[in-house]
Structure 1
Amino acid sequence: MEIGASRRVAEALGEGQGAERLVRSLATVAAVILCALAALMGLRRKFGAFLRSLCAQGSTNIVRVRLFLLRALFHGLSLGVYFGVFTALMMAVMPDESPAQNLANIVFVVLTYVLILQVLAKLLLSPDYGALRPLPLGDEVSSALYRWLMAITWGVALLAAWSSVLKEIGGAPALATMFHASAGVFSSLVLSAMILASRDRVARSCAASNAGDHGAPGLLARCWHYPALAYALFVGTFWSVRALSVEESMLRLVLSMFLIPVCIGIDLWVRKFLAMASEQHEVVPMDTSVAAPAEAVETSDSWPSAEAPPPFVPPAGRTVRDFMPLFSRIVRLTLAAASVFLMLRIWGVSIPMGWLFARNVMGVLLVVLGSLVFWEIIRIQIDRKLHEEIALSGIDPDDMEEGGIGAGSRTATLLVLLRKFVLTVIVVLGALVTLSSMGVDIAPLIAGAGVFGLAIGFGAQTLVKDIISGVFFLIDDAFRVGDYVEAGSAKGTVEQISLRSMKLRHPRGMIYNVPYGSLKILQNFSRDYIISKLDFRVRYDADVEKIRKIIKKMNKEMQADENFKSRLLSDIKSNGLRGMEDSAMILRVKFKTPPGHQFFMQKEVYRRVQEAFRKHGIEFAHRNVTVYLPPELQALVARETETGKPVTAAAIGGAAAATLLAEEEQALAAAAAKAAKSEGNTE
């Protein structure tokens, strides 16, 4: 029967003109297919060399994801080139319909399915590029699995192609049905052989991941191949039996065979993704803002160099690892439900209510899982950027003091608020989408939320004022985390920024919570530069010009010292006389420094000025009081001095008291005389 069908196929391809026509038709079909495949393989070879060079350079997870997407895009383009070359050659070589054209179309369709499955297997298993493999499999396992899948694919493809040729060209539908149905048995046998060959390897892998567990996971690791063999044999045999009576699609066989392995692969991929995410450092806790440590209020004379920024130690916080059990359960429940209902859908079993319920539940689970995964991706990227910004600032928090240099950047400050905003948006949108997937009409909720928000806006004007004021302060870049600011009676280092207020850490350790709406005038001591002005009180007999030269010499010495030169933005200058007081002349010295360096430089300038003045005999003026003595006391002091007796305070006090009594008696006598005179004039 098969020989007769094959003879009819050969006669149809030869078009009744003998073996020469048959060979020519087969050669034409082979040439067209080989040219299309040559174009495909040429592109793959060139791109493979380019991809190997990129992978050899080493890359991060983000770069590997980009390379994976680039590889998928190129494979899609190469399939497009294959399709275009085949179409162009067919139109040029075989424009008219003929058995040879039908044969070429059959081979082309079958090869297209094979190439698509090959691309999917290469992308998921990646036997030649381990760095781009999305599944947590070793090179040996992925290569073996790839070979087994290709063996099944090529075997089923050959059976499908030959059955199509027998049916379309040979005119033997019964024989074609037999070959078509044998694809199920063939795939079951090959898949069973693969399961038996991989039995020990999978058992070791499961035992390693469930070390010490002798319960259900341990039993599954030892006996996993029994249900797998039963499933493979049942699906293949059941499909073959149905294919003998009704026309079954090969796609249904492929989907039935690989639905559960695909679900297992998705579970492995999600677990690998979560493991990669859990390895990221938690730069900032999820429920707090960027905050400077409490030790930031201490002062120190040392200063970190720009060449060696201090290491940043992230505070403890929740990571993805804490949520991995929850994520794994959600993923596995979703995949289990999806596999059951998809299998029923593949085989045409209709369960309207069950499918509707499962669709809603799966929709909710997918929304929750997608929201969590999206939030973790955004949070990890923001935290990584925050880590870079804080590390690049090169600030030692122990050296931050009053008026210190800002420890943060504008990017870091805004990223904290962006993270909170993104979390709020994800939660709100996730809740709305979840309710919508459950059949709840969310339009009234949105309208009610608008009215409720309007009511809150009128009732909480202060809160709205604080939030809006904070937004504009941040847009204006008025302050950043780590800046030393003064707002009214509150001053300190900006330690934390929220949507409504900021926290200031006073140099003595207190915390100020300042709402943005109460900020009228804000002084920032951590921007650009600080000008220090130091006043010195000297005696009136001091040489001002000599002091100017001393300051000038001191400036040259400090500018020559690299430890001080990097902290000075201008020369140390003497401004001369600033003013005169009762007992001193006021001289002023000023200089410019970066924010946070002024205190160290002030202490050094004070020390050097004191040493220079002592060396050159210049005395600082002390506050004193000049007492003027009346002539009687001056005579007493002179007389006591001539006799050689010390003038005691008691003697001076007694003389002063006697003088005061005499002056009072004279005043009383003058007043009495004036009164008597006025009485005489009255009479």
Structure 2
Amino acid sequence: MLASGPVQAGAAQLAAEQSASEGSVDKYQALADVLSDPVSREKLIDELRSMSDQGQQAQSEQSQDNAQQQDGKAENEEDAATDVAKKTQSAVQVIVGTLTGSWSALTELVSGESKSIKDFFTLLVKLSLVIAATIVAFWLLRPIARLLFRRADDMAAGADGIHPIVVKATAVLISVVTDVVVVILAWLAGYAVALLFVGEMGEVSVSQSLFLNVFLAVELFKVLLRAIFAGRDDALRLLPMRAETARYWSLFLSSLVSLVGYGVLFVVPLVSNQLSESLGNLTNLVIVMIAVSYAFTVVARNRQKVKDGLNALARKANFSMTQVTLGVLAKCWHWLAFAYFLVMGASLLIEPDTALPGLLMATLQTALAIFIGMAVIALIQMLLDNGVKVPAAISLRLSTFEQRLNQFVPMFSKVLKGIVLVMVISAVLDAWGVVNLPVWLASSAGTQFLSTIISVLFILAFASLFWMTLASWIEHRLDPEQGGGEPSAREKTLLTIFRNATAIVIIIMTLMIVLSEIGIDIGPLLAGAGVLGLAIGFGAQKLVQDVITGVFIQMENAINAGDIVTVGGLTGTAEKLTIRSLGLRDLSGTYHVIPFSSVDTVSNYMREFAYHVGEYGVAYREDTDEVVIKLREAFEELLANDELRASILSDELEVHGVTALADSSVNIRVRIKTLPGNQWAIGREYNRLVKRHLDAAGIEIPFPHLTLYFGEDKQGNAPAMPLKMLNDVKMINEGANAAPADAEVQSGKKAPGERSSKSAEYNPTEKGDFDDGE
């Protein structure tokens, strides 16, 4: 102790020296004294080496712990991969052990070495009174509840003035509450009999309490089955099936629940506690084998019926994912049922005390997830599949908004149904321990995934709503009946181009934002798009020229939709204008797409006013002044036509006079001022009238002539034309052959294809027609 004192003092002073600066001289002196003493120095060295060994040991233990953790993780992964095999092995071992131990247990029971059979039967007598009282009370209350069930069924069947879903939900809730009250009253009746009439007053035995609690749990679960299938009440049934089918499956599941519930939760503990644990295990084995065999038999018998029913539901479903799910389920439902009942049997054999609650919770969570999913999908169908009605104020300003919205509703409905289906599948997998959904949702990955999905859906919904609103507004402006009058051609063209350009911008922006939300860096994409755009700019200069020329054409208002134009040597009606091309339909109906880069000149016939320019030739012998008078008379008759008069802007005929002395005619030009687009109809009618007036006045409209001139003598007399008739017989025959045709003409018969000209009507005057020759 005297030797260790200086060592401890030296170590303390060493530590104090590192943490404080006051009294440093004394500390240095003390450390020098410790080091100068051989014994103290050796003690200090040993203590420092001991501290070093402890640090190395701690590091070694930490390494061993890390290795054990890694081994534990590997074992967990191995357990997850071989869980089914190990459970099967354990179940087989339990079955063999139960069968081998049951003989000795029966021998002990007969020989009297086990617990007294007399006490067991005495217990059964007292217990039977409680059981009988509970069951009798339950069956006496059922007819009273049956009256309420009928009332609820009638209410659900005759929903007048109220939405049927709300009425049916209320009726089902009333029936479920009534059924639960009946079970609770029967349970209370059993407790009353046990407290007042069986055993000691005010005391309930463990076996009696066990039965009553099992009765409450099992019957409440059967209440859920009755609410789902409703074998006697068609209007209250939650599943779409016939009454016979509902009663069949309700009876099967109720029997299976009663067998497993009362057998495993009540009979097995009773036998184990009152007789022997081996007999309890044997009883558990028998009950489980009977339940699994019964379930396998029912599933095998109804395999094809259920398959046909699921296929029928798949054909009726209007959601593709639901159709696929039901189709796959129809093919493999019996294997899933076999696996479920096999796992249930193995779990009840391996862990009879704890397996049933976990299995029951997993089953309830699965059924509840499927039921809620079906209810939500039905609600979505009810709200969205029949379309959406928008308020009248919105329809007044955006007449096509409701129609466009209902075009997006089916797709939106499918997305919602898909989300619900994924959530149902996730809940089912979580119920059976395949995935731990709450833990994953609470993790950073789950939170990030949900946040991304919600953000993407919100972005898509907002972009769709914005596009529907904008497109509806444009359609409203273009509608002459609702948009405040007939829009101008300029407005039609600009709004159409603006709609197309906005659609492209919305698509690109939405795509970029969605890619950014899901974690894709759009910086390289934008840089690549810039490089690609530069390459396209060099490689597709015509495209760039198309766009630039199109922009300037629209800025200068050179072409609007509906205009009659001549572009690139083609004349027609401009039907479609984009930022890079013009859609033109010519007189023959051919549709031409003309890129703006090939447009050098635009001739528009639809600006402010137009002229019909007519140049009429007459013979040299005619008086030109008289011809002008007849042209004016034809114009006055044209003005007398009220329908065409509205298209003529000037009441005076512009006569330009004689414009040419041609080879065989004297040409006189006139001009008529008309509304743009009507010059061709006015010109056709005026030409018809000019021909009629000139013919009536005997004014010759020349056509190509051939004049044979034989000369004349000095006195101006022309000699007679020498004619010599050759082949008179041939000419006579030809004349005879021509006689029938002349006879037909004289008799009034028209040759094929000849048309009557009793009443000539002026040519059509549809707005926008044109002549190719103009």
TM-score range, shorter chain: 0.3 to 0.5
- The TM-score with structure 2 as length reference comes to 0.39
- The TM-score with structure 1 as length reference comes to 0.44
Q: Whose radius of gyration is greater, 1 or 2?
A: 2
Q: Which has the higher contact order (CA 8 A, sep 6+)?
A: 1
